[in-house]
């Protein structure tokens, strides 16, 4: 299995003391980048294409764009960051971070990276990321069955079906 390197594109819009991406960069678990390569998966909440385990074969890295949820729409409209690389949307997951606990899809950058890496088959790095946070184990526990099922899905259709089985009110 090919390992996909975790990266973060920092927009510095959040409190630096609460920024999960900054903590991952500080501990060298995720590489901070100033530009996104063409062969990088960019976690884009506005992408039509869901991330699947098969994406591990087409990318060298997976990049979380660290921006404030309150500004995500503006970032998507006015910045090219989401159009760089290979855009993929994470399937629905529950947040475990203290700010957005149990809110659907309101993941921190660390949660997004961990979820993506788990789906891509790198459970060890996903756990390593979440172990840096007091609440990190809760993310993996809260989404355990979901992450297992997502990481088993082979196609976009299977991924969408799994997502709708867990969250029937999504669409």
What are the structural domain ranges in the chain? 5-166
Predicted pLDDT at 78 = 45
Q: 32 burial class (0-12, 13-18, 19+ CB within 10 angstroms)?
A: middle
C-alpha dist (Å) from residue 106 to 55, 68, 157, 158 = 23, 10, 23, 23
Both tokens of 56, joined, read 């591990």
Q: At what angle do helices 123-130 and 109-119 cross, to 10 degrees?
A: 160
Q: Pick from 90, 45, 42: which is nearest to 71 by CA?
A: 45
Eight-class DSSP state of 30: S
Annotated binding site for S-adenosyl-L-methionine: 20, 65, 90, 109
* d(C-alpha 111, C-alpha 41), whole Å: 16
Predicted pLDDT at 161 = 96
| Cα-based torsion angle of the residue sequence 89, 162, 2, 61 in order, rounded to the nearest 10 degrees | 10
Predicted pLDDT at 1 = 47
Low-confidence ranges of the chain (pLDDT < 70): 1-2, 12-18, 67-83, 171
Q: Pick from 23, 57, 24, 55: which is nearest to 42 by CA?
A: 55
* d(C-alpha 43, C-alpha 124), whole Å: 19
Please give the backbone phi and psi of residue 110, each rounded to the nearest 5 degrees, phi first.
-65, -45
pLDDT in tens, 121-156: 999 999 999 999 999 999 999 999 999 999 999 999
Q: Pick from 11, 8, 14: which is nearest to 27 by CA?
A: 8
The pTM score is 0.89
Predicted pLDDT at 31 = 93
Annotated binding site: 20, 65, 90, 109
* d(C-alpha 73, C-alpha 61), whole Å: 24
């Amino acid at each position: 299995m090919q390992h996909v390197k975790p990266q973060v594109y920092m927009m510095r819009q959040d409190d630096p003391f609460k920024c999960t991406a900054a903590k991952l960069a500080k501990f060298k678990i995720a590489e901070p980048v100033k530009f996104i390569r063409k062969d990088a998966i960019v976690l884009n909440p506005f992408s039509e294409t869901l991330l699947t385990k098969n994406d591990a074969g087409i990318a060298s890295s997976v990049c979380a764009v660290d921006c404030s949820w309150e500004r995500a729409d503006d970032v998507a409209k006015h910045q090219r960051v989401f159009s760089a690389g290979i855009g993929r949307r994470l399937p629905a997951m529950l947040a475990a971070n203290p700010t957005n606990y149990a809110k659907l899809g309101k993941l921190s950058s660390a949660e997004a990276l961990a979820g993506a890496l788990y789906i891509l088959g790198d459970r060890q790095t996903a756990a390593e990321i979440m172990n840096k946070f007091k609440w990190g184990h809760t993310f993996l526990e809260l989404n355990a069955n979901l992450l297992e099922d997502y990481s088993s899905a082979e196609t976009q259709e299977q991924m969408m079906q799994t997502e709708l089985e867990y969250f029937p009110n999504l669409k």
